[in-house]
Chains A and B, each alone.
Chain A
Amino acid sequence: MGAADGSPPASAPAGQQAPPPPSAAPRSAASGADAEAAPASAPRGHPWLAALLAWLVPGLGHLYLGRWLRGLAFCALVSTAALVGVTLDGKLWRPESGKPLSYLATPGAMGLGAGYFVLRTGLGYRGDVTAAGYEYGSAFLLTAGLMNVLLVLDALDVSRGRKR
């Protein structure tokens, strides 16, 4: 224990105020070597609004937080993966009785946010199991949803100042 992990040094003389830790980052934000190597930035925006926007539209949470290039790049990447999946007639997961794994895959696919509901209810998209690219398309669609789930968590971290 010592200044490196945020606690006062054990060798401080009795009755003398220990110097503050070198990092002003909150203790909860600096856990592990990575957090100490990359100092956290100031919190910005509202965390839950950033998370909601990030879930609704891929990259929108980062745009809201002022991370323009990353937001646009993430939007392009996730949208491309989803579009390829739809083009290949992949499966857009939903809960199915007798298929326990569908209850795991559905939240992953729903990570696409508004796109999931637009495809499923707005456009009536189901996928085509007889299509040649069905398996590949399913992988692309599920990956797009899971990538957006990671973007939601990343937007939360950026908004709370845990990440630049």
Chain B
Amino acid sequence: MSHFVLMVLYAFLVSVFFALLWRSERPDRVRLFLQMFLGLVVGGLAVAWLMFPFPSGPPAPIP
């Protein structure tokens, strides 16, 4: 799986989890899910875009 797919899957699982845990009404759950999901995905893409100009450097040694 690609990095993006894994990031979206992670964001989906975490968002659904907290929407079910923290809200009891369906509209509230949907609203919180969308806020968290979009925040994680868009935030991740924004951080990736900001880090793009930085050099990645040599690969880390395997312990």
Contact = CB atoms under 8 A, between A and B. Distances in A.
A77 B24 contact: no
A26 B63 CA distance: 54
A77 B6 contact: no
Given A133-B6, A136-B6, A140-B10, A147 B62 contact: no
Contacts of A147: 14, 17
Interface residues of B, number: 14
Give the interface size bracket for A toward B. 20 to 34
The A interface, classified by DSSP as helix, strand, loop or mixed, is: helix
B20 interface: yes
A38 B22 CA distance: 12
Interface in A130-147: 130, 133, 136, 139-140, 143, 147
9 contacts: A81-B10, A84-B9, A129-B63, A133-B1, A136-B10, A143-B10, A143-B14, A147-B14, A150-B21
